[in-house]
A and B are shown apart, each in its own frame.
Chain A
């Protein structure tokens, strides 16, 4: 493979497999405990959710479909009345603090005015209604969360410099879970210039791991978007710094900057010890703090990863692309000694991911590996041909291709797992490698059996 001097960006046909963005309800309803997600769509959307979310569907989840029928499509039924009736039922059965409507392809095509109906029903019902258009016409998979968080941004209370102290106490008192756990680290008094809100949905355990990492640098996280409960959304406004923890949140970042006048800290994402350190350093530099103890901390983590790095060093990897985490994970794996052939990605926001991209480039130079090609809107069929030629040791791919690739002797790891696993921060670096090495470890055990090619079909599709 040719060594490239700079990162190259390509764009293909967009014929690739990914999850529908409505899948974001799966993790968001769990994250926001008092919410209810109503997906306004068809049987197709429902069928996807029911199958993709598997067993959670049986656990009385706080999400449901408002399933459009023929009368809705032909406008024989009144959208507002129909949605009002359904939301009333939800209010009666579940009494949530917020109902989030997920607009789908259908609501887009028939131009159902969800943003118009929402406020009216909100008034009638007395429950906040947030509208997020997470549809497959515009977005892929994790971008669903981006649309929800961008919509939620408008509901955060206004940050007021004068009432700052008061509000900070409020935030602290609520379930952000940093009040007591981090006392030992916050020995200095908090200065008023660092009002930091982190955005991106993380399992609460991971959120409460990242908080003390910043706390060690005397930076207190004053809130998370989303918070554990809708009623605890962090105040936003001029003077508030925001920083993303996931690479797919570009709309949210834009909304925070433009609509809420927050200041965005553009940093690499805290995935892998290198990413986490760069993320913290960037935040420190914005707040004029000299980071202390970070290098040792990073090195410590790398030492802990030694056994896994032994497995991955020198191995090659191919990202087919479906969840937008690809750049960050690729960057971390290059740092671990892997060779990345291709980074497929559904959508590449070069501004929002600028710091991440430059860290990727630096990492390639540092590790003396060829720059990977970044393929936006990939074409799965073409990728398959390239993969046939390159024969990567590992393919990160969606579930539609995983089994067929395994049957053709290519080790795979399904990309969806990276979305649901805990991969952020120093503490979880090992979990990323645990995922990546699992197929490699499994197949070293099975490799000698000689059953690598288990398909009768020709290799390329």
Chain B
């Protein structure tokens, strides 16, 4: 047992559900107690999803505990099959079903007899993997399932497309800026004359998965989700993949360079022969992306050598560290990730770029590290943002876990050339705010922190009793001023000079009439 207040990566079933509900027409049924369908709330609220989240629960209650699920899971699967005819139904185990050790595979087998939909059991163990690993596995599992099925039916299409094409693997629902990133990637590929064969799982259809091998190669923008699928496709179909994240100018050029290599390997298929992206990269770097110019401009001089701390998932933390150090000349004191399962690769990526590498799932350790370093800015998750608030250090959010404000409506990719602009803004804003604040402190420029003049009048003919003042203090800060003002208006109207608690409530009742 461990004492935990907060966690960076969620439980395994969240990963499975993220992948399943990213596909079109896939329904997930959780084997879970009442209340575990919180995923639906997150998707509906954070992503502001318009449609019902295709996740239901086969409820584990006291009866299930006593007698086992028996027909319940099977009935729920068959019912969903009839109601909605999803392409497959994914039975998702939770921590509860892990302990109950019911034979879920048996339920799946039996349900498939009657169900028109395919039924799959997500192969994840709650106690061994976290959200990200589970998402990675489930995606691979679904892809493997569809490819095997197509192969059995002899409908697997292995001919590559005439024009160069790629699959984008790993953008999913509730992923950090994933939808914007996906759009930016498509734009980049379009600029390079490459077709997008398929995007999985977000918006993908299972019926189309059998065409995955038609692409020339795969792109895995995020290391956390999609790598297993890319490796599967490489093993089975010899499809190469690019796992470099095109985040920042350098890695984006590197990414395009790899694309060039893979396309030219098949250049005999191309009508115009080999492709060369060098001039494209140069033009984009110098003139489309503002980031190269920005790091040259005198603004960026001011932040050179300033200390920063980076923490997040392996993909974002590594990329942001590289951008800060290599592209902006910022001193990264500590770079870290909570993706323990990918720690070796992460360390390889950031080694030599920062003073200290921190790999932990414990947010208090991150907080303590930040407090010791006292950097000028933090780039981290929502947790680091709050640590920053407490320590008065500005923070740019660069990775999940996130809040609703990290699902912006406006276009905010982190990948590609537009991504470099967004990141430059984020970094710059974090540092200037910090500087402004610092300067204000130095010159004593801050106003008195308490606003005391927002009252109707300043002459003090009203007397608040001790109790009513205590009562007033119980009212949340953001409405306290208003309540105080309204009560005083009421008191004046009624010629009351002593404000008691009862006067406060009387005022509330009267003023609302």
Contacts and interface: CB of A to CB of B under 8 A. Distances in A.
Interface of A: 14-22, 40, 42-44, 46-48, 50-52, 54, 57-58, 61, 64-70, 72-73, 77, 79, 82-83, 85-86, 89-90, 105-106, 108-110, 135-141, 177, 180-181, 184, 203-205, 208-209, 212, 300-301, 303-304, 306, 381, 384, 398-404, 407, 426-427, 430, 454-455, 457, 461
Contacts of A21: 35
B36 A44 contact: yes
A407 B44 CA distance: 11
A51 B95 contact: no
Given A106-B96, A403-B50, A57 B5 contact: yes
Contacts of B386: 58
A48 B505 contact: no
Contacts of A461: 52, 83-84
Interface string B1-43: 1111111001101100000000000000000111111101110
A430 B512 contact: yes
A355 to B, nearest CB: 25
Given A50-B6, A86-B3, A106-B99, A399 B45 contact: yes
A427 B508 contact: yes
B57 A15 contact: yes
Contacts of B2: 66-67, 69, 86
Contacts of B389: 58
Interface string B305-318: 00000000000000
Contacts of A455: 50-51
B474 A205 contact: yes
A277 B508 CA distance: 19
B3 A18 contact: no
B458 to A, nearest CB: 27
Residue among A21, A51, A64 facing the most chain B CB atoms (10 A cut-off) = A51
A209 B512 contact: no
A204 B474 contact: yes
A246 to B, nearest CB: 19
Interface stretch (B60-68, B111-119, B267-275, B426-434): B60-68
Given A106-B95, A136-B32, A455-B51, 4 more contacts: A44-B95, A73-B99, A181-B471, A404-B53
A18 B509 contact: no
Contacts of A77: 1
B51 A109 contact: no
A67 B1 contact: yes
B125 to A, nearest CB: 9
B502 A20 contact: no
A72 B3 CA distance: 13
A43 B467 CA distance: 43
B277 interface: no
B44 A304 contact: no
A7 B238 CA distance: 67
B38 A51 contact: yes
B50 A105 contact: no
Contacts of B48: 403
A42 B467 contact: no
Given A72-B1, A109-B96, A303-B513, A181 B33 contact: no
B133 interface: no
A14 B59 contact: yes
B406 interface: no
Contact of A83 (B1, B36, B52): B1
Closest 3 interchain pairs by CB? Answer: A20-B35, A136-B33, A400-B40
Contacts of A83: 1
A15 B59 contact: yes
A300 B506 CA distance: 12
Contacts of A46: 4, 6-7
Contact of B60 (A15, A64, A137): A137
Contacts of A208: 471, 501
A454 B51 CA distance: 10
B33 A135 contact: yes
B285 to A, nearest CB: 39
A109 B100 contact: yes
Residue among B48, B53, B65, B95 facing the most chain A CB atoms (10 A cut-off) = B95
Contacts of A19: 35, 38
A106 B76 CA distance: 23
A42 B11 contact: yes
B60 A65 contact: no
Contact of A64 (B4, B49, B62, B383): B4
B266 interface: no
Contact of A401 (B52, B62, B127): B52
Nearest to B130: A43
Interface in B453-492: 467, 471, 474-475
Contacts of B505: 209, 212, 427
